[in-house]
Amino acid sequence: MPRRSTALHLVAGGFAGTAGAILTCPLEVVKTRLQSSSLALRPFCPPAVQLQGMSGTLIRPGLPSIGVLELLRTILEKEGVRSLFRGLGPNLVGVAPSRAIYFAVYSGAKEKLNTVFVPESKKVHMLSAACAGITSSTLTNPIWLVKTRMQLEARAKCERHSSALQCAMRVYNTEGLRGFYRGITASYAGVSETVIHFVIYEALKQRLREHQLFVSPALIFSPSSPDFFGLMAAAAVSKTCASCIAYPHEVIRTRLREEGSRYRSLVQTLQLVAREEGPLALYRGLLPHLFRQIPHAAIIMVTYELVVHLATKV
C-alpha cells in the first residue's frame, strides 16, 4: 500500500503540473521579462531613460511603468507569437517531475509527521510543504534555469532562437555544473510561498468539510457540485495570499539566473535591486504572476484531487 500510495501521488502530481502549465506559458514569459534586469529588457525600453548605475551598468528607473499589455504587444510585434511560448519545452519536461516529486514528498512527509505531531495540524502541513518544496527545488533547478534563460532571450522574428539543448550546453560550457544551480537560494526562500499556500489550502479544505460542502465524494468533481467550486476557490485564495507575501523571491531568482548577471547572492541581489530601482521593483511582474498563478494553482490542485479520487475508486 505505501508503494501504491507513493506512485499514486507521483502520477497525480505529474498530471496536475502538466495540465496547469500549458495554457499559462505566455503569462509566464511576460512575468519573467518584467522581473528581469534592464539588460534583458533593453529592446523594449527607450534609451532616454538610461542612467548610470552604481556598478557602472545601465539601469532604467522607468521600467516599472511598462505595463503587461504593452510588453505583450511589443513581444508580439518584434518577436512573434512563438516567443510567448519560449521555455515551454523545459517547462513541460520539468513540470511533471517537479509536481510529482512535490506531491509525493508532501504526502509522504505528512503521513509520517501525523504520527509525531497532532494529525492534520498546521505544523504538519507547514513542515510537509517545506520538505516538499526544498526537495523539488533542488532536483529540478537546472530545468528551470534553462527555461528562464530561454524566456529572457529577446530576438527579432527573423532571428533563430536557441533550443533548450543549446541553452543548456552554453550554460555548461561557460559556467560549469554550478551554473545550473544559480538562483537555488532564492528557490529555497520561495519555499515559504508553498508553505503558506498549503497551510491556507488545507485550512480552507477542512473548513469546507466541517460545513459539509463535501456532500458526497462521488460528486466532488461534478461541475454543478459546490465541492468542485469550493476546491477551486480554496486553491485560488491560498495561492493568491502566498504569492503576494512571498513574491520578491521570484524577482531575485530571475535576476540570479540571468546570463552574465552581476547578481551574485540572495542578499546582495535584494540590496542591489532595492537600492538602484526602489523597493517596488521587487514586485515587478506581480500582476501577470497572479493572472497566471491563480488559475494555474486551481487547475493543479483540482486535477491532483481528481486523479487521487479516481485512483482510489479503482
* pLDDT tens track, the chain, 314 positions: 455 666 776 677 667 767 667 777 888 888 998 898 854 344 444 433 344 444 444 444 444 456 788 888 888 888 888 888 888 888 888 877 787 888 889 989 999 999 999 998 888 988 998 999 899 999 999 999 999 999 888 776 767 778 889 999 999 999 999 999 999 999 999 988 888 888 888 888 888 877 654 445 444 445 445 566 777 788 888 888 998 999 999 999 999 999 877 898 999 999 999 999 899 999 998 988 888 877 776 777 777 777 777 777 76
In a domain, 264, yes or no: yes
Q: What integer pLDDT is reported at residue 105 of this predicted model?
A: 92
- Asked whether residue 56 is domain-assigned, the answer is no
Q: For residue 105, tell me if it sits in a domain.
A: yes
Q: What is residue 253's predicted lDDT score, i.e. its pLDDT?
A: 95
- Return the exposure string of 106-141: e unless at least 16 CB atoms fall within 10 Å of the residue's CB, then b: bbbbbeebeeeeeeeeeebbbbbbbbbbbbbbeebb
Q: pLDDT at position 47, please?
A: 38
Instruction: Round to whole Å and give the CA distance between 147 and 168.
Output: 9
48 within domain boundaries: no
Q: For residue 269, what pLDDT is reported?
A: 94
Whole-number Å distance between alpha carbons of 4 and 7: 5
* Residue 60: inside a domain: no
On whether residue 64 sits in a domain, the answer given is: no
User: Is residue 202 one of the residues assigned to a domain?
Assistant: yes
Residues near 100 by beta carbon (within 8 Å), at least 6 away in sequence? 9, 10, 11, 13, 14, 17
Do the domain assignments include residue 80? Answer: yes
CATH number, position 114: 1.50.40.10
Domain that holds residue 83: 2-42+69-313
With H, G, I as helix, E, B as strand and everything else as coil, classify residue 52: strand
Q: How many domains does the chain have?
A: 1
Alpha helices in the chain (DSSP H): 2-21, 25-35, 68-79, 88-113, 122-152, 164-175, 184-189, 191-210, 226-246, 248-257, 266-277, 286-313
Terminal alpha carbon distance of the chain: 14
